[in-house]
Amino acid sequence: DAKTTQPTSMDCAEGRAANLPCNHSTISGNEYVYWYRQIHSQGPQYIIHGLKNNETNEMASLIITEDRKSSTLILPHATLRDTAVYYCIVRGDYGGSQGNLIFGKGTKLSVKP
Amino acid sequence: NAGVMQNPRHLVRRRGQEARLRCSPMKGHSHVYWYRQLPEEGLKFMVYLQKENIIDESGMPKERFSAEFPKEGPSILRIQQVVRGDSAAYFCASSSRQGLDGYTFGSGTRLTVV
């Protein structure tokens, strides 16, 4: 089962930053934090991942606290098309079969005009 | 560079028939994962395969379900003697390096059992 805790839902105004929190208090040293999203009925889409440093790409930024027990995904200028379920997943570099992505319930983000 | 290709997009089967779902991974990807999403529920891991090998099938139902990823050709998820409870969206994902750089998902196959 997923080892993360996320709010069930969040709203965000169009054009504003969307900050999606995730708690992963039992994360271990070799586990990465991944974020995916699923827009209604489509396949999940990879967004970003990180280990301990903050990361940024063309889609989002990932801020990981120094103790690594929580993180925040930031969509800097949310649009209506960002309305989706966002999944925070902890996954280790274990090798073999133990590194599969396990999806929890995620956060349903609604971007409103 | 085509993404993960799944076909068919929609599949309707009568109870008792067989369903075959196909997944062609992204070019250069040798790891394939199958997930199932029941209506209004989250994604559930089913099976992880590499070429000609099943690495982890811990999420597969014990009966009627099987998966393969042959040396040549797509990965196949096969459901025998389908029942109404098998109606779901089935997503395939592929990755390189066991997914450390993220998985790429296909658009899914929507199976409806009537």
DSSP code string of chain A: ----B--SEEEEETTS-EEEEEE-TT--TTEEEEEEEE-TTSPPEEEEEESSS-EE-SS-EEEE-TTSSEEEEEETT--GGG-EEEEEEEEE---TTTT-------EEEEEE-
Residues with Cβ within 8 Å of residue B1, at least 6 apart in sequence: B26, B27
The per-residue pLDDT for A2 is 47
> Which residue in B has a C-alpha nearest to residue A86's C-alpha?
B42
Handedness of CA A57, A61, A62, A63 (dihedral sign): positive
Contact list in A for residue B47 (CB cut-off 8 A) is: none
Q: A8 touching B, CB under 8 A?
A: no
Q: A104 touching B, CB under 8 A?
A: yes
Mean pLDDT score across all residues of chain A: 90
Query: In chain B, which residues have pLDDT < 70?
Result: 1, 98-100
Residues with Cβ within 8 Å of residue A61, at least 6 apart in sequence: A48, A54, A55, A73, A74, A76
Identify the top-confidence range among A67-81, A92-106, B84-98. A67-81
What is the per-residue pLDDT across A5-45, written as a single tens digit (0 to 9) for each? 999 999 999 999 999 999 999 888 888 899 999 998 899 99
Q: Are B98 and B104 in contact, with CB atoms under 8 Å apart? A: no
How far A14 CA lies from chain B's nearest CA (Å)? 26
Q: Which two tokens stand for residue B87?
A: 């109606």
